[in-house]
Every structure is written in C-alpha cells, then in structure tokens.
Amino acid sequence: MADDTQGAAAPQPGTAPSMNLVGQYIRDLSFENPGAPGTLLGGGTNPAFNVSISVGVKKQSDEIYAIELTLNAKANREETVLFNVELVYGGIFRIKNVPENQLSPLLMIECPRLIFPFARQVLASVTQQGGFPPLMMEPVDFSAIYRQNLAKLAQQQGGAPAADAAAETPKPN
C-alpha cells in the first residue's frame, strides 16, 4: 500500500519548527525606597500602585532572539513615594524553521509568556526584601498587548513597525 500524503510535503528531519529557551537574565534592576525607614512604619491609607510592562525583541543572530520584559512598579501613599522598582528581565530564545508570518506573534506573545513568571518572582522578592509585602503581579495577557500594538501601528499608517509593545495596568488598592 502506498503512503498517501494528499500532496502535502512531509517535513524533512531537522526542519520542524522549534523554540528553545537558552537562558534568562536580569539586565537592569533598580529599587528605590526614598522614605525609609519612615515609610516602613506603616499607618495611613492604603497605597496606590501603578504597574506597567513592555516587551522588547532584539535579534542576536539568525536563530537567536533576546526578549526583554521591562516592569515598572510604583507605590504611593498620598503624595509620598513608598517604593519605585524597575526591572528589565530577559530570555534568550533559539527559534528555528518558524514561518515569517508566525515569527512576530511567537516573539511577542509566547516568549514573554514563558519568562514572565520568573520576572514576576524577582519583582515580588525585591519588594519584600525592601521591607514591603511582596508585590504579586496579576497574570499578563501578552496576546492583548500584541493586538493593541498592532492596532496602534495600523492607525499610524506608514509609521515604521516597532518591535515594542506596552500596556499599563493600575493595581487595585
């Protein structure tokens, strides 16, 4: 009996699409606690949190990409800054045989989704070591950020596409 592939070419060994996380790193980490130790004594109203996240992609070579998440978190109580954190957390990915039309969503959605839990843990640990309760970010919908970025690019009509997406998420008190 003959093998019937109905005209579809079977993938050759070694040509199947693949994505591998090669490594992770902290490129930048800054924690400011400008009112310490006074701000650690407590009291007053609940603080207001402002958390933002952006995704950047940097091609390193034909198959290697660096994906960086920039997380900014700031807590205020009235006019007083309790803490301000900036974290740039990256992952190095080896991507092979991915069709061009699928590369951008892979880099801007799936890769950040894989490294986000680690960046979230660093942020929680740093705020806790700074004397505050750990700041636990809610899960992030990188697909929504990607769609928002595409919509902005479509509105700009003719602006050069950027490999950067951002969203700001206020955290409830």
The domain ranges of the chain are 18-135
At the second CATH level, the architecture of 18-135 is Roll (3.10)
Tokens, residue 85: 């954190």
Q: Is the pTM for the entire model greater than 0.85? A: no
How many other C-beta atoms can be found within 10 angstroms of the C-beta atom of residue 112? 25
DSSP readout, 66-82?
A: EEEEEEEEEEEETTEEE
Residues, the chain, total? 173
Q: Which among 21, 52, 30 is positioned nearest to 140, based on CA atoms?
A: 52
Q: pLDDT (tens digit, 0 to 9) for every residue of the chain, 173 residues total?
A: 444 445 445 556 668 889 999 999 999 999 999 988 888 776 777 888 999 999 999 999 999 999 999 999 999 988 889 999 999 999 999 999 999 999 999 999 999 999 999 999 999 999 999 999 999 999 999 999 899 888 888 888 565 444 444 444 444 33
In this structure, what is the dihedral angle of CA atoms 78, 83, 84, 87, given to the nearest 10 degrees? -150
Q: Which among 101, 104, 169, 111 is positioned nearest to 137, based on CA atoms?
A: 169
